Amino acid sequence: MELSVALERCLLGGKSGEELINSGAAIDLSSLVLVEGKVCWDLYIDALVVCSDGNLLDSLAAAIKAALNNTGLPKVNVVLGASPEEQPEVDVSDEEFLQFDTSAVPVIVTLTKVGKHYIVDATSEDESQMSSAISVSVNRNGQICGLTKRGGAGLDLSVIYDMVSITKYVSQQFISVLDSVVAAAEAT
């Protein structure tokens, strides 16, 4: 449940006034709307964890980004009824698909603070020594989409800014690698 909540915070963005979070910079749920208030696609994401000795949240986000990159939404023709109260008629194509837009889907990078050091992709052993960790979701434009913190120790605001800066840098490298892996998989 904790992972679910953290993924939701990081992938759907935040409605926060904080300058760290750019609201709406993550998965755009409005792209799933066919007729406002009447018809939309439901997006369900199920993940099965087989093994874990790194940061599970980061791995799940990368898997979700890769899976969404390979997701096609059937082309839909909507015919509105004569009155606004009438349910629209929906014709879903079995042959034509539209690519799900993943351009703003972020990756998540978690920095684990152990002493004065930060660790990316900490192992279980590293995490047993941590004072705290922050997970930051960042899209390819460098926008921060969400942030979540674990661990009991509080963090000074300057440390948070430092950690966020590092995650923004690491995320851009991670996105490049993930894009390459996805492109190679699609080619085969």
Average pLDDT estimate for 38-56 = 84
Q: Which residue has the tokens 């800066």?
A: 165
* H or E element, residue 43: none
pTM: 0.81
> pLDDT tier at 164 (50, 70, 90 boundaries)?
very high
pLDDT of residue 9: 76
Asked whether the predicted pLDDT for residue 62 surpasses 80, the reply is yes
pLDDT, tens digit, 9 for 90 and up, residues 77-122: 988 877 777 888 889 999 999 888 888 888 999 999 998 899 998 8
Helix (H) or strand (E) holding 33: strand 33-35
The domain segmentation of the chain, as residue ranges, is: 2-71+102-187
What CATH number does the domain located at 2-71+102-187 have?
A: 3.30.230.70
